[in-house]
Structure 1
């Protein structure tokens, strides 16, 4: 039995984290947690801009890491003694799974997700940086001395696309789906933890313990599935995720702050030397951004976010995939540089139409990014062994699965600098603003054709 599972039942080997969760601590896990790459996560907030709207949402990626690791141990404990599981997951792979849960966020830098969404070519995604953090730190010695796997085993679970399909064993595929899938150890933690710290109930309305207890191995694909007893918990988790995106992660004020940060980084990307900032703690990163913005058109953006007085852009227009699809459908998943070009063109149109001076940096266009969220659907295994998707047995999941998840929860919004917004909307109607947006889209598409 893995020492981490043994620690589950030893009161002296547990660490308490919110909300009243006991996380098992073996000696080798303590050594990993004491390394500099993991300790750095304590200085990076989990939700970034969300705390500007929900002040309690200042918890760290380190706390989240402990929660994900605790869930991973819970999954292994759930399958302990299961002959099918043990036939495909040996000690080496189980060790790699525990480490993958501990290290899954090591590649993160401050405000990582919104910057990743910009697709700045040289940065790539944070998962691709985990190997470098391992190699350049004491983590390499920890893994070599204490664990039955190596760094390559860990990376193959975190980045399964980097491994040849022929090298994927059934155990590898199963554990990779436990780390990233419709229901995984990451989502099981962040939905509840983010909801707790934001002070909202939306992400805590599902029974995580029941869900973990009902996990099973899909009889045909070998991936993670849910037994019939966990169907309701899975249904509630799907709905919780939908509401958390709608009301927290994509709250219009959170997105205004996010759009300000993205434009600031876009304007300063050559001044910042982004690559050199990826190892910084969050406070250092913010100080560096503010210094870089001094005297530039990006300074009001940086100071509005991180200065002594909060000053956020305001929503001028909003379009969803149902009522506003004529705009949403044309802007969702456009490259970030394209949205900046549209904002600059729209600034000129607004100036001409309203008579108000609108500078290019006064307009921000926020749209669902290129990268899609993981599909919400997964298979439910009935008591008689029949397999159906969650959407087939749940009207809630069926409704959410009928369109791509992002289109339900991620809206297209146009933000204007606060004082400019008020002046412009006093001069032009909502219909006229929509017409100007469509006109600017048409003109930009024609120019780039």
Structure 2
């Protein structure tokens, strides 16, 4: 039986060999003429100048990889998924070759609308912030080179791609393709866990069997998402744990969060004076330059210089709160709107200045807390062919069950208080500091 997607050039080249581009780690990514036509556009090339992990490179020096590299990795995963899932008769019946090509393009372009430092900026939930989906639509507009390439080289409309990236219409086949790009086991997570781990120089995100997981993919019982055969259960468990540890040890590492907190406070103070639609279409280098220029002479100038100046100067951790150690105070602060956190910070700073009889600036103390939105929960079914039954992975896995019974965010994302290095020594371990924080949070 021939493969239903064998006519797709990229899938054929994945198996038979052909033009390719190599990305870490030792991945041969098919690079057909029509893939090259997308990659060579100005809209796609801008991803070269946006780092995948943003401020994490201040702590992990190797983590300077770009969204350009990540996009190619996600595209490569899409081909792997489609080759495997095409062997599933239910998938092939639901997803036509054209829809498979739309998914391939969506995989390449899934980060198209992102701008430099997108995640820490979006986490603040500012009301006047343009959504990154708006930028994706703009970059795909008919008068842009990329939109023209999709029509002429792929026979795909911008609306088809955008409907996969941000759901506008509903159908089982669309839900199925969307679950490949954004779901419990998706091509995005599978790439960023491994790639971020590789470039950060840590092993945590690579300790799962990627090939085995892909080989176990199939359609779920409802036909609107992915499931895993029982042979992939262990690989799925390891991927769940890899994600947990990467959040704990890299994405929410205390020094990474110090950098993120310093950046967020600076952007919060400056964003109303900036032309955000124009700023967000620029390179990371240009965004940093404009922020430093806008912040010169303001209270946040030391924060920006500590992050981006010639000498790194990060704020120090004074206090850390977790759900299991300080549940009441943690719940008072975690998930609060960013503007609330800033008012809380102001009250805390005033109290610190009064109690320590010192004159400190309004940004000498910073509060970092988990944002309002939560991470995607890991809900996927395992299929046991002998029984012909699907079971939730959390029901058959003690590892996943332990994570499923608790909120992922509550255990990997701490509330932290950071302070200027000149002040942090006086606050760390101070017997009354927790009391001051509690009063600031309650008032």
- Shorter-chain TM range is over 0.9
- The 1:158–1:313 alpha-carbon spacing in structure 2 relative to 1, beyond 3 Å, is same
Distance in 1, Cα, partners of 2:399 & 2:363: 41
Alpha-carbon distance in structure 1 between the residues aligned to 2:99 and 2:171? 10
1:145 equivalent to 2:152? Answer yes
User: Is the 2:319–2:428 Cα contact (8 Å) retained in structure 1?
Assistant: no
Number of the residue aligned with 1:4:
10
Instruction: Give the alignment's TM-score, normalised by structure 1.
Output: 0.94
- Residue 221 of structure 1, CA deviation: 4.5
Q: Which residue of 2 aligns with 1:197?
A: 199
Distance 2:185 2:327 in 1: 29
Residue matched to 2:369:
367
Secondary structure of the residue aligned to 2:367 is: strand
- 3-state SS in 2 of match to 1:318: strand
Moved over 3 A (4+): none
How many equivalent pairs are there? 435
| Aligned residue number for residue 442 of structure 1 | 442
Judge conservation of contact 2:299–2:361 (CA < 8 Å) in 1. Answer: no
> What CA distance in whole angstroms lies between the structure 2 residues aligned with 1:122 and 1:215?
41
Map residues 278-317 of structure 1 onto 2, 5 A cutoff.
Answer: 278-317=280-319
Matched with 1:37 is: 43
**What CA distance in whole angstroms lies between the structure 1 residues aligned with 2:316 and 2:270?**
22
Residue segments in structure 1 that go unaligned for 5+ positions in a row:
444-449
Q: CA deviation at 1:403?
A: 1.4
| CA gap 1:11/1:419 in 2 versus in 1, 3 angstroms | same
Greater Cα offset, 71-80 or 81-90: 81-90
Q: In structure 1, how many angstroms separate the alpha carbons of the residues matched to 2:139 and 2:434?
A: 46
CA distance in 2, matches of 1:344, 1:152: 45
Tell me by how many angstroms 1:109 deviates: 0.5
Q: Does 1:90 align with 2:115?
A: no
Instruction: Tell me, in whole angstroms, the C-alpha distance in 2 between the residues paired with 1:382 and 1:41.
Output: 41
**Superposition pairs for residues 178-217 of structure 1, below 5 Å?**
178-217=180-219
RMSD, aligned α-carbons: 1.3
10-19 or 330-339: which moved more? 10-19
Q: How does 1:124-143 map to 2 (within 5 A)?
A: 124-135=130-141, 136-143=143-150
- Aligned pair 1:13/2:12, yes or no? no
Counterpart position of 1:338: 340
Deviations 1:341-387 (A, max 9, x none): 10011001111222233322111111110111110221111122211
- Secondary structure at the aligned position of 1:9 is classed as helix
CA apart distance, 1:234: 0.5
User: Is structure 2 residue 400 aligned with structure 1 residue 397?
Assistant: yes
TM-score (norm 2): 0.96
Partner of 1:244: 246
| 2:3 matched residue in structure 1 | none
Q: Is the 8 A contact 2:318 2:418 kept in 1?
A: yes
Q: Would you say the 8 A contact 2:94–2:173 is kept in 1?
A: yes
3-state SS of paired residue (1:360):
coil
> What's the offset of the Cα at 1:83?
2.2
